[in-house]
Structure 1
Amino acid sequence: MEEVCLNSEPVFDMVDEYEGEGDCSAVEHDDETGSKHSKKEPPLPTIGLEFDSFDEAYDYYNIYAKEQGFGIRVSNSWFRTKKKERYRAKLSCSSAGFKKKSEANNPRPETRTGCPAMVVIRLVDSKRWRIVEVELEHNHQVSPQIKRFYKSHKKMILAARKARPPAEPVTEIHTIKLYRTAAMDAVSNGFSNVSEREGIHQPDHSKHLELKEGDAYAVYNFFCRMKLTNPNFFYLMDFDDDSWLKNVFWADARSRAAYGYFSDTVAIDTTCLTSKYELPLISFVGVNHHGQSVLLGCGFLGHKSVEYFVWIFRAWLKCMLGHQPQVIVTDQCKPLQIAVSEVFPKARHCFCLWYIMQRVPEKLGGLRGFEEIKRQLNKAVYNSLKIIEFETSWTEMIKKHGLGDNKWLQTLYEERKQWVPVYLKDTFFSGMIPIRENESLNAFFDGYVHKHTSFKEFVDKYDLALYRKHLKEATADVQSKNSSFELKTRCNFEVQLSKAYTKEIFDKFQSEVEGMYSCFNTRQVTANGPIVTYIVKERVEIEGNEKEACFERS
């Protein structure tokens, strides 16, 4: 393809009104008096910002230049030879480059300074123009207070006047559309585009993301970079009617691909919200073929309410093409429970046992006989193999310590089928949730997020966190591929599974196989359809050695 470079500066017609969508906002100027009505500062040019046409891109940069105090021109254009179609252009400061030397007796003085400020726009998908290069720094003084009228600004005003219907009374006020995405519209004002005119309802700031200086651009630039380098990157931003940012969700290509393999059980981690971190992070986490945590999406939540949870759940579900998980694990937050039942009605909703047990000292630590209460609670939760055993142990604990009026324990008991292991034997957790007393659980971003982590700091660490997780997975892949497993039995199924499982999963399987050898004297008790119940005796030195086991016929 031959590239032709032409130096030119187009003149574009502008209209008073434009029937656009919510990603455009109007700016009114009084060019004779210099006053402005309903003014919104244009956002800084950012890589990734797109426009519907070349004209819109030019108008946007021209308006931005006028507000900053400099003029622009099209310094370079590239055309496809056969179609004579422009596909790339460079919009530069009017002081860019230098004029050719004149042989006239009294040449005009040089006014250009070789200014590097510019944007490069390119046609993508044969229909939209995208900013692909940006340079904001000038090598000369620019200031909005300098009342200089540049050629590009004059053309903009004349075009607007020409487009005004002749029947309208003469007036110097005209409307120019400022083309921007909703995200950039908010970013340009620190995510706070709220009119200060009297009579306008002031929004509730407690229900928006509280971004500090630099956070807004860091987040948006992170999305732009990811979108350009990661074609299957997905993100959504949720704004209110005043362009305040409420929620954000994103998932990279690797997370979307991983969900196709590891969608059985998904944990929704809201630790940052529960612990009231400055960063309102919510993470969707699964488990991979090595038993390692794998990220399936992230988000920032502006408020812990049903509405906000529903939005981010639907955003995640849309990202995953509507494929719902079989099991969802969360904490006990009531708005979270309602949102899960609304968005994921077919999924089994469970509570994380580890999080509940971690709250025992906080909820019961001030009670007399706390250590004994804790011991009995642990026994009821972790050692009960039958539902009747749990019910008996729980009742004894409540009566012995007079805990019948304890609201927290009442809530736990009412929701016992969603967190007590004995009620969840038929639920597949993929090994994600600790169900033994000595097991612990680490958040996916553990070590990268603390109480005062900012948005900017998090997006800067995001790539590093994922890189280390991916490296850990790749290392485990290599180890599994090169490992030779020592078989514990002569059973054919052990040989078969040693070829199918990864090293970590096969080790867990072998521990169950070893446990099988301590069992003897199995006796069938009942058969109810596909469910067969056996009594199994086990050689272990604990209280009682008979256990009931239920199996489903294949």
Structure 2
Amino acid sequence: MDGDLNPDQGITDGDSNPDEGSFLQVASNPDEVIDIESNVENIQCNAREKTPPIVSLEESYAGDLYGKIVKNEQEAYDLYNEYAARIGFSIRKKQKRYDKNGDLSTLNFSCSKEGFQQDSDPCEEKKTKRLDERTGCQAKIRFLLEDGEWKVSTFDPEHNHELAMPEERQFLRSNRKISEAHMDCYNFVSREKRIMLEAGDAQSLINHFKRKQAEDPMFFYTVQVDQENRMTNFFWRDGRSIIDYECFGDVVVFDTTYRTNKYNMICAPFVGVNHHWSNVLLGCAFLLDEKTATFEWLFEAFLESMGNQKPITIFTDQCQAMANAIMVVFPGTCHRLCTWHISTNATRNIPTLYRIPEFKKLFNKCLDGCLYAIREKWCPMFSQDAFSVRIKSTQRSESMNNVFHRMSTKTMTLTEFVLHYEKQANGMRSKELEETFRCKQGLPSTAAKNSGFLKRAASVYTRKIYKFLEYEFVGSLAVKMREVESDGTLQTFELNEEGHIIVYVVKFNSSTFNISCSCKRFESMGLLCRHALRVMNVKEVSQIPNQYILKRWTKDAKKEWNENEHG
């Protein structure tokens, strides 16, 4: 039996400032058009014209905005921002709300000191320590859309902190005075455009997403913008991705090793494993940075787009900010580290040693078996109870690495990258469709021609998954076993493979056919191990018990979705 059929061997197929960390989320509303160029012009106008008015404190407190009416979103922002300048505080934009038809219905703004800053990791080194400016202030305003106009429906003017004095208001973040004496406006805008995105490219990407949504009602995208309403981060997935996630979203590989060279933005795909043991693209993101707040926004967007169904296991690179976000957004999800990234880092950082065969062998042995502070995240023996399709994500990251690096060029725009992403996704789906067709055409040849057990497995599982089970079935013939305990229908066996000293314990119930093995292969992969198969063979179990046939590995894994799609 070809050893390459063993999936265990890897089959190839800093948080920001509170003001900076608060973002406005733009949902996937096809009617909403975001004019990036006008945003840049607004920055220029603000730089030249806006100076916070200086008024007495008594006069400042006289304002009551409840019931005020404005014509559009920008006027709503300006109304509260100008009021804040008079009072002596800075504002932040909160999440927009949309009605059931997807139309924008609510605008929310709050004092910049709203909420509390999350505690940072005391062990995490930071170049600069930022001030904790949050006080839990409740001052806020809400605009509701009524008859085409925005009306203030909620206005809370009470602050729980000291307000800025008149001479201090020029330093308020949302109303900071910018003059030519302090900064050259043109250079400022040009630099911001280079750091962020070219306006035309960003607008082109949004327009592309809108067209896709018009074609595919299940298409989802969302954009994060900063306080100046400039786009910073993007996430999207198409309608097929949510179907794939419904069927195979138990295990997700999230990778941030790819960058679009034109803006040096991070391209971060979400990847799953289908019933043919092949990669499926579940969504993708463009990110400007790798901060905890950014990952929280992205994971929340991903979760929302997938019906708030969390994965059982998520594989990532080693990144503390990412780990922080996973604990917040995916509580209860098993977080594992990609051994491929660890091995890649080893080849990069200790290339001379890693080229020595004996050192590489010992390093890899250490990688699989040694203990240290985060061992439960990357050492398989500490997370065998969590379903992970029993991959180390080596083959997943490696194969996707080849795909995405081929897609990146120094001149490729974001929209061009998305088009290439769609082309790759379509190619992968075409291969899946072809493999599904081949599975329906006949049964694979079995190693034991007269084995009813294998015939049943061949009729149920896809070809690739059947080969995994057959590999274990043949391997079970070399497993020695002895019964060590019997209590009615419950029996306990000790087994070990020829040439190996590890002893595995299998418990078998002859009345229910329930079986468990200490190797935890079924719990982690969803396929019976050779030790369990050995016991079943001796006990003359002629077919795989139904409770041990995981639907995600069968030919019918997507049957319900395919039937719905084709009527």
Please indicate the TM-score interval, normalised by the length of the shorter structure: 0.5 to 0.7
Residues 37 and 433 (structure 1 numbering): CA distance in 2 closer, same or farther, change over 3 Å?
Answer: closer
Bigger mean CA offset, 351-360 vs 339-348: 351-360
Residues 495 and 365 (structure 1 numbering): CA distance in 2 closer, same or farther, change over 3 Å?
Answer: same
**Residue 446 (1) aligns with residue 404 (2):** yes
Equivalent in the alignment of 1:516: 476
Alpha-carbon distance, 1:443 to partner: 3.6
What residue identity is the alignment partner of 1:486? S
Q: How does 1:94-113 map to 2 (within 5 A)?
A: none
Alpha-carbon distance, 1:368 to partner: 10
Equivalent in the alignment of 2:461: 501
1:313-352: CA deviations, max 9, x gaps? 0000011111101001101011111111111011000011
**Residue 548 (1) aligns with residue 506 (2):** no
Asked whether the equivalents of residues 289 and 502 of structure 1 are also in contact (C-alpha less than 8 Å), the reply is: yes
What residue identity is the alignment partner of 2:502? K
Alpha-carbon distance, 1:281 to partner: 0.9
Equivalent in the alignment of 1:424: 383
Distance 1:415 1:326 in 2: 19
Distance 1:545 1:264 in 2: 32
Alpha-carbon distance, 1:294 to partner: 0.8
Distance 1:266 1:127 in 2: 29
Corresponding residue to 2:424 among 465, 489, 504: 465
Alpha-carbon distance, 1:435 to partner: 6.7
Alpha-carbon distance, 1:521 to partner: 3.6
1:490-540: CA deviations, max 9, x gaps? 44332222121111111121111111112124454899xx996723132xx
Residues 241 and 370 (structure 1 numbering): CA distance in 2 closer, same or farther, change over 3 Å?
Answer: same
Distance 1:288 1:126 in 2: 33
Distance 2:397 2:366 in 1: 17
Residues 206 and 25 (structure 1 numbering): CA distance in 2 closer, same or farther, change over 3 Å?
Answer: closer
Q: How does 1:206-217 map to 2 (within 5 A)?
A: 210-212=196-198, 214-217=200-203
Distance 1:178 1:322 in 2: 33
1:150-200: CA deviations, max 9, x gaps? xxxxxxxxxxxxxxxxxxxxxxxxxxx999xxxxxxxxxxxxx99995399
Asked whether the equivalents of residues 278 and 454 of structure 1 are also in contact (C-alpha less than 8 Å), the reply is: no
What residue identity is the alignment partner of 1:512? E
Corresponding residue to 2:252 among 266, 277, 290: 266
TM-score normalised by structure 2 residue count = 0.53
What residue identity is the alignment partner of 1:506? Y
Asked whether the equivalents of residues 289 and 505 of structure 1 are also in contact (C-alpha less than 8 Å), the reply is: yes
Asked whether the equivalents of residues 291 and 431 of structure 1 are also in contact (C-alpha less than 8 Å), the reply is: no
Asked whether the equivalents of residues 208 and 415 of structure 2 are also in contact (C-alpha less than 8 Å), the reply is: no
How many residues end up aligned between the 2 structures? Answer: 349
Equivalent position SS for 1:514: helix
Distance 1:502 1:317 in 2: 29
More helix by share: 2
Equivalent position SS for 2:502: strand
Distance 2:456 2:34 in 1: 64
Corresponding residue to 1:247 among 217, 221, 233: 233
Residues 206 and 445 (structure 1 numbering): CA distance in 2 closer, same or farther, change over 3 Å?
Answer: farther
**Residue 353 (1) aligns with residue 353 (2):** no
Asked whether the equivalents of residues 329 and 352 of structure 1 are also in contact (C-alpha less than 8 Å), the reply is: yes
Alpha-carbon distance, 1:215 to partner: 1.8
Equivalent in the alignment of 1:535: 495
Distance 2:397 2:353 in 1: 25
Alpha-carbon distance, 1:223 to partner: 0.5
Distance 1:524 1:548 in 2: 12
Equivalent position SS for 2:440: helix
Equivalent in the alignment of 1:53: none
1:383-402: CA deviations, max 9, x gaps? xxxxxxx34xxxxxxxxxxx
Distance 1:329 1:211 in 2: 29
Residues 524 and 293 (structure 1 numbering): CA distance in 2 closer, same or farther, change over 3 Å?
Answer: farther
Equivalent in the alignment of 1:475: 434
What residue identity is the alignment partner of 1:515? G
1:398-437: CA deviations, max 9, x gaps? xxxxxxxxxxxxxx8321221123333333222553579x
5+ unaligned residues in a row in structure 1: which ranges? Answer: 1-20, 27-35, 41-55, 58-124, 130-176, 180-192, 383-389, 392-411, 539-543
Q: How does 1:23-102 map to 2 (within 5 A)?
A: none
Distance 2:308 2:191 in 1: 32
Larger relative CO (CA 8 A, sep 6+): 1 or 2? 2
Alpha-carbon distance, 1:548 to partner: 2.0
Asked whether the equivalents of residues 305 and 336 of structure 1 are also in contact (C-alpha less than 8 Å), the reply is: yes
Distance 1:525 1:225 in 2: 65
Residues 413 and 321 (structure 1 numbering): CA distance in 2 closer, same or farther, change over 3 Å?
Answer: same
Equivalent position SS for 1:413: coil
Residues 194 and 252 (structure 1 numbering): CA distance in 2 closer, same or farther, change over 3 Å?
Answer: farther
5+ unaligned residues in a row in structure 2: which ranges? Answer: 1-24, 27-31, 36-43, 49-70, 73-99, 105-147, 151-173, 509-513, 515-567
What residue identity is the alignment partner of 2:476? M
Distance 1:431 1:486 in 2: 25
TM-score normalised by structure 1 residue count = 0.54
1:432-466: CA deviations, max 9, x gaps? 53579x99543484354236343132023232112
Asked whether the equivalents of residues 328 and 349 of structure 1 are also in contact (C-alpha less than 8 Å), the reply is: yes
Distance 2:379 2:409 in 1: 30
Asked whether the equivalents of residues 523 and 536 of structure 1 are also in contact (C-alpha less than 8 Å), the reply is: no
Asked whether the equivalents of residues 261 and 408 of structure 2 are also in contact (C-alpha less than 8 Å), the reply is: no
**Percent of aligned positions that are identical:** 26
Equivalent position SS for 1:295: strand
Q: Aligned-residue CA RMSD in angstroms?
A: 4.6
Asked whether the equivalents of residues 292 and 321 of structure 2 are also in contact (C-alpha less than 8 Å), the reply is: yes
Asked whether the equivalents of residues 266 and 287 of structure 2 are also in contact (C-alpha less than 8 Å), the reply is: yes
Q: How does 1:359-370 map to 2 (within 5 A)?
A: 359-365=345-351
Corresponding residue to 1:305 among 286, 291, 313: 291
1:14-35: CA deviations, max 9, x gaps? xxxxxxx998999xxxxxxxxx
Asked whether the equivalents of residues 204 and 415 of structure 2 are also in contact (C-alpha less than 8 Å), the reply is: yes
Corresponding residue to 2:308 among 295, 313, 322: 322
Asked whether the equivalents of residues 250 and 312 of structure 2 are also in contact (C-alpha less than 8 Å), the reply is: yes
Corresponding residue to 1:296 among 282, 287, 290: 282
Q: How does 1:78-227 map to 2 (within 5 A)?
A: 197-198=178-179, 210-212=196-198, 214-227=200-213
